[in-house]
């Protein structure tokens, strides 16, 4: 797995393009280690470290979509798992976490936010944003085809709070059924969604990483990039 992180890092995108072409795939099992063959069909996206700290880490992600949902894979270089929360729907952003924001319809300032910790605990919320005033709402009837699939793994250590590691990975599947009643869902070839990808790390203070840079909060949706579905 360490070799996977080093070798794949070479092919990570060096720019911060505001547009990603998302390739289509058949559905596959989410294992948390990125071992599915489908991931080989697409390139890494670089998530630059936006808030400098004494430690600088490489962070990257991949995106794919299918007829039933959208897949994400994060690869996060790290030294320590600062993750103690062992319950879903908590304030995961206060510890190590990766985050996905999906704004499917630009005419409607409501988007989906998903967070996943190294210990594999999640926070899925719909966020109405009224000119910077926002609050997340948890999904109702979160079960069956509306439920996400997610898993994590670590490199160079154990998956436990405070463990020394060299990296951790997160793999996520978000079903379109969960995104209801957002518009422009499911996507088809040519569909465009605004989106952003983030990471927060707490090894030395708070370090933030993002595909598209925001100023004050991750919720500055007008600064999101664009997913174009192939």
DSSP, residue by residue, 111-157 = EEEEEE-TT--EEEEEEEEETTEE--BPPSS--GGGS-EEEEEEESS
- Domain-embedded: residue 60: yes
- Domain-embedded: residue 15: no
Cα torsion through 65, 30, 75, 79, rounded to 10: 160
Looking at residue 133, its pLDDT comes to 84
Count of domains forming the chain: 1
- Domain-embedded: residue 190: yes
- Domain-embedded: residue 123: yes
- Domain-embedded: residue 19: no
Rounded CA separation 96/80 (Å): 9
Rounded CA separation 73/172 (Å): 6
Looking at residue 102, its pLDDT comes to 98
- Domain-embedded: residue 63: yes
* Biggest distance spanned by C-alpha atoms of the chain: 45
Give residue 206's domain range: 2-8+31-229
- Domain-embedded: residue 161: yes
Looking at residue 51, its pLDDT comes to 79
15: tokens are 């720019």
183: tokens are 């518009």
- Domain-embedded: residue 87: yes
| Residue 191 belongs to domain with CATH number | 2.60.40.1190
Looking at residue 52, its pLDDT comes to 73
The mean pLDDT values, 10 residues at a time, for the chain of 230 residues are 37 65 98 98 96 84 98 97 97 98 96 98 95 89 97 97 98 97 97 98 92 95 97
């Amino acid at each position: 797995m360490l070799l996977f992180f080093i070798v794949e890092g070479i092919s990570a995108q060096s720019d911060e393009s505001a547009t990603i072409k998302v390739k289509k795939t058949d559905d596959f099992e989410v294992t948390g280690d990125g071992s599915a063959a489908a991931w080989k069909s697409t390139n890494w996206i670089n998530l630059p470290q936006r808030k400098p700290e004494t430690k600088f880490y490489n962070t990257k992600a991949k995106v794919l979509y299918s007829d039933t949902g959208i897949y994400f894979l994060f690869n996060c270089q790290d030294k320590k798992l600062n993750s103690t929360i062992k319950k879903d729907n908590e304030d995961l952003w206060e510890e190590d976490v990766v985050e996905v924001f999906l704004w499917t319809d630009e005419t409607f300032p409501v988007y989906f936010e998903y967070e996943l910790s190294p210990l594999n605990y999640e926070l899925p919320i719909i966020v109405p944003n009224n000119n910077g005033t926002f609050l997340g709402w948890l999904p109702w009837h979160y079960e069956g085809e509306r439920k996400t699939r997610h898993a994590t793994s670590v490199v160079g250590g154990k998956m436990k709070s405070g463990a020394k590691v060299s990296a951790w990975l997160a793999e996520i599947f978000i079903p379109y059924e969960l995104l209801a009643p957002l518009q422009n869902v499911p996507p088809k070839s040519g569909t465009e969604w605004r989106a952003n990808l983030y990471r927060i790390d707490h090894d030395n203070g708070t370090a933030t990483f993002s595909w598209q840079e925001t100023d004050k909060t991750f919720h500055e949706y007008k600064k999101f990039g664009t997913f174009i579905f192939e």
